[in-house]
Chains A and B, each alone.
Chain A
Amino acid sequence: MWIWADVSPEGVASSALELLTKARAIGKDVGAVALGPGASGAVDQLGEHGAARVYTSDDQRFAEPTSRVAAHTLGALVAEHSTGVVLFPSSYRGRDVAGRLQAITGSTLMANAVDLPSIDRARAEILGGTTIVEVDLAGPAPHLVLMRPRSFEPEAVGGTADVVPVDVVEPPGGAAVVQVLERTEAASDGPTLEGAKVVLAGGRGLGGPDGFRLLQELGDAIGDTAIGASRAAVDAGWVPYAMQIGQTGSTVKPEVYIAAGISGALQHAVGMKGSRRIVAITKDREAPILQLADVGVVGDLFQVLPALTEEVRRRTGR
């Protein structure tokens, strides 16, 4: 069993550790593939979380947006070393590499999986999370499985991994280079959406970018909070995509998720319904999110949020 590890100079993504934990539960001999700048720095952590072997290269070409070289290199690895399953995170990189690898190896690909009962069977949530299917995987090895984020809790088991250096493999005929002209990092201090204990999310009901200030104030009062948004707010240009929660966007599982002005359509619900406690504030009585919430409040969020901020400040003395 192999897992694909998303790596960067900042470190290894927690998705890799989640996948390793799961892979270990199925088989002992787990390999991790870490390609791109920052890969060598990730080896220790990958080993600690159960990788027996790490196939690694720090080559710059693996950071390219098109992921063609990564897919062909991985294809060559798979052909050389053989493995039954490769687990991928549902990240930008993961989807691109897995999708291309499918074409190269002719393997089956299972997306949106939440569990892997065995090498030949995957469990997935479909139809917006309302239905669970178990799917038999057939066809040539390796089966490719894209796991939804936060499907497992990462568990360090100790251990070190053997390092297997990897050479860059180009596709036959070479690959056109997709250049990155500029990069913008979404500035954020404070916990990330995935890491925060409390997530406050705003949607169309906030009426504009200014509405997010109310959430920020509430977040400051509560502490250990990240601010997110529904796709509607992002599409409207009020907040950057990095804040988007949902099918396309982040999946979050905080202790408390408070949605303000969000209708809670399936695309959004998929990204947050794993939260331990959900509070929704909306003036739309019909909003689906009220069915998801532990406490659904029908009312004016412009009144409720400041009142709540005040109450929290009172209780915490902030």
Chain B
Amino acid sequence: MNIAVLVKWVPEPQGTPTLGPDHLLVREGADGALDPGDEYGLERALQLVERDGGEVTVVSMGPEVAVAAVQRGLAMGADRGVLVTDDTVRGADTLVTARVLAAAIRPIGADLVVAAVESTDGYTGTLPVTVAELLGLPSVTFATSLDIVDGSHVRAERQTAAGAEVVSSPLPALVTVTTGVAEPRYPSLKGVMAAKSKPLDRPSLADLGLAADDVRPSQTVASVEAAPLKAGGRVIEAGPETAAEIADLLAEARVI
């Protein structure tokens, strides 16, 4: 069972990311970490490989600091890492990123590609299925559980607008997972040390067969402004008058 997991390095997951003067997200130099959302899918992939045998490869695209995300994946137990880091793709939009990631995944020959539903900083939520289409794979998104059956099919429970459904897809396939899919392990120090000797490839765009035209972004940020703040709120301590105050607000809004 060969599983590829898409991971992303995001700046300060708990803080608010900032835009630089070129209107792009500040990534280099900022403190960051492996996107917490990616750990769930990676954990599940590791569990499946521990059970059925096989290999997990973590794949990422980003500036040089993003190698920390790949290393964390290796420390958690992934077998190999791939990082595409090239100045040309700085400021890449989702199409460029998808092309790069698809090109990086193709040589792996993965049976299953796993990604988070969306990244914590960009949350477009469409990149994984774009990758799936470029690779010609079926996809299952918003999976809350993920299992491989008979080594040939993936079985997942997924969220839908109406509720939930259980689906089955033949492999190879791509699955995006929510946070409920597994409890990520904390890498042990032994894992961190072992990570250093695991293979970490750094293919160039040329290695991946991508030309300049393939990676030209088609979006530019024209302007940036702060969203209007909500004004006029007040914070009160709960007390005997609280129920009446809230009921007054409900009355004023004409819902009671």
Report if B30 contacts A (CB, 8 A). Answer: no
Report if B53 contacts A (CB, 8 A). Answer: no
Using CB atoms, name the residue of chain B closest to A179: B168
Using CB atoms, name the residue of chain B closest to A183: B165
Report if B189 contacts A (CB, 8 A). Answer: no
Q: Among A92, A178, A231, which residue has its beta carbon within 8 angstroms of that of B142?
A: A92
Near A by CB (< 8 A), chain B positions 51-91 give none
Flag if B242 contacts A128 (CB, 8 Å).
no
CB distance from B132 to the nearest CB of A (A): 7
Contact residues in A for B238 (Cβ distance below 8 Å): 281, 297-300, 303-304
Near B by CB (< 8 A), chain A positions 88-111 give 90-93, 95-96, 98-100, 102-104, 106-111
- CB-defined interface of B206-226 with A at 8 Å, one 1/0 digit per residue? 000000000000111111111
Report if B93 contacts A (CB, 8 A). Answer: yes
Flag if B236 contacts A135 (CB, 8 Å).
no
Report if A293 contacts B (CB, 8 A). Answer: yes
CB distance from B138 to the nearest CB of A (A): 4
- Chain A's interface: helix, strand, loop or mixed, by majority? mixed
Near A by CB (< 8 A), chain B positions 236-256 give 236-239, 242-247, 249-251, 253-256
Determine the distance from Cα of A299 to Cα of B162 in the docked complex, in whole angstroms. 35
Flag if A92 contacts B95 (CB, 8 Å).
no
CB distance from B20 to the nearest CB of A (A): 13
Contact residues in A for B243 (Cβ distance below 8 Å): 304, 307-308, 310-311
Flag if A112 contacts B136 (CB, 8 Å).
no
Chain A residues engaging chain B, CB cutoff 8 angstroms: 6, 13, 65-68, 71, 90-93, 95-96, 98-100, 102-104, 106-112, 121, 125-139, 146, 171, 173, 175-186, 197-198, 222-224, 231, 234-235, 237, 240-242, 247-248, 255-256, 258, 273, 276-279, 281, 290-300, 303-304, 307-308, 310-312, 315-316
A-B contact pairs, 29 of them (CB 8 A): A68-B138, A95-B129, A96-B129, A99-B125, A102-B95, A103-B130, A107-B218, A108-B93, A108-B218, A109-B93, A110-B219, A134-B222, A135-B220, A136-B220, A138-B220, A178-B139, A180-B165, A197-B255, A223-B256, A241-B159, A241-B163, A248-B117, A277-B249, A277-B253, A292-B233, A295-B234, A296-B235, A303-B238, A308-B246
Smallest CB-CB A-B distances: 8 pairs: A299-B238, A139-B218, A99-B126, A103-B133, A99-B129, A111-B124, A186-B163, A307-B243
Chain B residues engaging chain A, CB cutoff 8 angstroms: 16-19, 23, 93-95, 98, 117-118, 121-134, 136-142, 144, 155, 158-170, 173, 178-180, 218-227, 230, 232-239, 242-247, 249-251, 253-256
